[in-house]
């Protein structure tokens, strides 16, 4: 599954306003590798965080990425389970980031039935807004997968 390229950051404008990405840090491309493996692309918000935080406070960016890696790759769960849990947690908040983790869950092998089961559990505790949002997310994932399947490789 691929993702249409989101609008590129205007790196020149950001650098002019806040300064350059810190020297001596992993490159933004290197930092994005784990996201490309997980999702097939680096989400725009992540790219913004890399550019801006990497210029202003590169140490916190290192800490954020270390904490993220530690939490998202536990030895006790496979990635499909991790991504299904995160999908459900974000869906409970009706967060738009649930879509990204739905993508990651599918890439990790989650079935439509497994995603729907998570949506159904969310419905029990969050109600129809979660059920509606979940159905919209699955429809978006179907659209993305169909678009990716039709794209020339």
Supply the pLDDT for residue 4. Answer: 46
The verdict on residue 89 lying in a domain is yes
Are residues 61 and 106 located together in one domain of the fold?
A: no
Task: Report yes or no on 5 lying in a domain.
Answer: no
**pLDDT digits (tens), the chain, 153 positions:** 444 445 667 878 888 899 889 888 899 999 999 999 999 999 999 999 999 999 999 999 999 999 999 999 999 999 999 999 999 999 999 999 999 999 999 999 999 999 999 999 999 999 999 999 999 999 999 999 999 888 776
Containing structural domain, residue 88: 79-150
Residue 55 belongs to some domain of the structure? yes
User: What per-residue confidence (pLDDT) applies to 25?
Assistant: 86
68 touches 30 (CB < 8 A): no
d(C-alpha 53, C-alpha 60), whole Å:
8
Please give the Cα distance from 11 to 4 (Å, whole number): 19
Query: How buried is 148 (Cβ within 10 angstroms: 0-12 exposed, 13-18 middle, 19+ buried)?
Result: middle
**How far is 132 from 76, CA to CA, in rounded Å?**
31
Tell me the whole-structure pTM to 2 decimals. 0.85
Is position 3 within any domain? no
Could you tell me the two tokens for 64? 């954020």
pLDDT of residue 2: 44
Domain count along the chain: 2
Residue 60, SS3?
A: helix
Best CA proximity match to 99, nearest among 141, 67, 39? 141
Domain boundary among 72, 100, 123: 72
DSSP, res 123: H
111 and 139 fall within a common domain: yes
**Same structural domain, 54 and 87:** no
pLDDT of residue 1: 43
Last residue of one domain, picked from the residues 50, 72, 94: 72
Contact 84, 115 (CB under 8 A): yes
List the one residue out of 25, 124, 82, 132 whose CA is nearest residue 140: 132
Which of 72, 96, 115 marks a domain boundary? 72
- Whether 36 is in a domain gets the answer yes
């Amino acid at each position: 599954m691929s993702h249409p390229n989101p609008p590129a950051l205007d790196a020149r404008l950001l650098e002019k306003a806040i300064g350059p990405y810190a020297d001596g840090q992993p490159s933004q491309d290197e930092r994005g590798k784990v996201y490309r493996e997980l999702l097939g692309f680096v989400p725009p918000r992540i790219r913004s965080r890399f550019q801006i935080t990497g210029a202003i406070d590169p140490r916190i960016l290192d800490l954020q990425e270390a904490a993220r890696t530690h939490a998202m790759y536990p030895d006790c769960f496979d990635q499909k389970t991790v991504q299904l849990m995160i999908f459900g947690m974000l869906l409970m908040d009706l967060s738009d980031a649930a879509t990204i983790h739905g993508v990651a869950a599918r890439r990790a092998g989650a079935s439509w039935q497994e995603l729907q089961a998570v949506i159904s559990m969310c419905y029990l505790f969050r109600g129809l807004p979660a059920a509606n949002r979940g159905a919209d997310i699955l429809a978006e994932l179907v659209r993305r997968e169909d678009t990716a399947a039709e794209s020339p490789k």
